[in-house]
Amino acid sequence: MEEIHIGRRIHINRTLRGLSLVSLAKGITSSSKLSRIENGMIQPESNFLPYIAERLELPSSYLQEFDDHDIELVNLLKKIFSYVVFDLKKAQSLINMIDSNYYKYLSSPKLECYYLILKGTYLLKTNDKTEYKVLHEQFIEPYLKKETIRDLPTYIEKAVYYYYGLFYFKNYDFSKSIDSFLNLKNTTTSKEIKAITSYNMSIIYKHLCDYPKAIEIIKEAIDYYSSLNKEYDLALSLNLLGSLHRETRNYKNALIAFNESKRIAEKNSYLDILGYIYHNFGLLEKNEGNIESAIILFISALKVKEGSQKADLLITYREIIACKLIEKNTKEAQNFYWVANLLTEDEEDYHKLLYVFNDYYLLAGQDTEDYELNLDKLISFFLITNNYKMLKQCYLKLGEFYYNSKKYKQSADNYYKSIKLLEE
């Protein structure tokens, strides 16, 4: 293993400034020696670093004090790790504090790398896509490029696994995301970390439509949260368990999980979770074909969610639109669509909303070409994002559309693709 060393920092800053080895080394040392320093083959002499710092327009101490290992800073960064996992507001204030005096705090390349991973995690969780992409590409990847993660200090190793679990999930690489979270789960001794890791893994398995595995993993999270007496997280995990049972049409067990989640949420006034539960009760009614009852529950979910800052209103609007279209009430469906459209924040929101609303173009006597083109657009997006559940539904809808249009070959092709997804 190559330890995170001062050469990496020099390489990163040289690259950011668009300098070649020759231009940075000129008049200071040979380019070959600078290359060996950047690659960790040799340590730089102390009298060499001030000249490099000046040319890179960096504080001299930032390069010269690279061996400084501040135990107090290590403990502060460990605290930030805990906060980026469990309390983002507290993490933000500490991140701002370090950023305000960056070069003074982070003279150690190893601790700088640790900090950047923590900040990257914060940016991922707050959906600051532009800044985290820059941080990832320009700093985190170059620092970790030649590292064996298991050889890092355990406190950094855990942060790296958590960061990449989120990073791969955000980039739709679900297999690598699961591997990263599993590595974290196997590395940590903290029940709280194991619990939240299990919850995240269950979400990913649900996304992959592997419901038995998702149920197995969320039950582990429930056991952890029960032993920790973390009632909010327990209620949230029970709600997820209920939704997984609903996906497998095990409505009896779904109701048991939802009702227990509801009991805990009502006792503690967890409005966001109550909103999710009413939403899921609506889905149960919709699955049973009770569309009117489903709409009433979805409207109740919206009212509860509006009292919570954490609530996701868009998913409930999508279900109301779907129900209105089942009732062939295109006017109300369109009205709800315009409201929901204002809530979309990213491409995934837009495409999921379009999927739900797309039946409008058939029901309202619109040009069927729009319906077909929208399905093609949706399939392209869900292929990129590895959303197999949505892909299957799109193929089935397109297959039915072509069948009704007497385009039997195209219909068969799409039905076949939906079957292949089930096999995978």
For residue 50, is it within any domain?
yes
| pTM, entire model | 0.89
By residue range, what is the domain housing residue 60?
Answer: 6-64
For residue 380, is it within any domain?
yes
Q: Which of 106, 122, 157 is the last residue of a domain?
A: 157
For residue 87, is it within any domain?
yes
Q: Which of 134, 157, 180 is the last residue of a domain?
A: 157
Q: Hey, what amino acid is at 218?
A: I
97 and 149 in a single domain? The answer is: yes
Closest CA to 29 of 5, 7, 1: 7
- Work out the number of other CB atoms within 10 angstroms of the CB of residue 36: 16
pLDDT of 3: 73
Q: Which of 114, 131, 157 is the last residue of a domain?
A: 157
> What is the b/e burial string over 91-115, where b = at least 16 CB atoms within 10 angstroms of the residue's CB?
beebbeebeeeeeebbbbbbbbbbb
34 and 100 in a single domain? The answer is: no
44 and 79 in a single domain? The answer is: no
Distance, CA of 108 to CA of 220 (rounded, Å): 38
51 and 90 in a single domain? The answer is: no
Distance, CA of 3 to CA of 225 (rounded, Å): 37
For residue 212, is it within any domain?
no
Q: Give the pLDDT of the chain (424 residues) as one tens digit per residue.
A: 357 889 999 999 999 999 999 999 999 999 999 999 999 899 888 888 999 999 999 999 999 988 888 899 999 999 999 999 999 999 999 999 999 999 999 999 999 999 999 999 999 999 888 899 999 999 999 999 877 898 899 999 999 999 999 999 999 999 999 999 999 999 999 999 999 999 999 999 999 999 999 999 999 999 999 999 999 999 999 999 999 999 999 999 999 999 999 999 999 999 999 999 999 999 999 999 999 999 999 999 999 988 876 668 999 999 999 999 999 999 999 999 999 999 998 999 999 999 999 999 999 887 789 999 999 999 999 999 989 889 999 999 999 999 999 999 999 999 999 888 766 6
Distance, CA of 397 to CA of 411 (rounded, Å): 9
48 and 88 in a single domain? The answer is: no
Distance, CA of 364 to CA of 335 (rounded, Å): 13
* Element (DSSP H or E) covering residue 411: helix 408-423
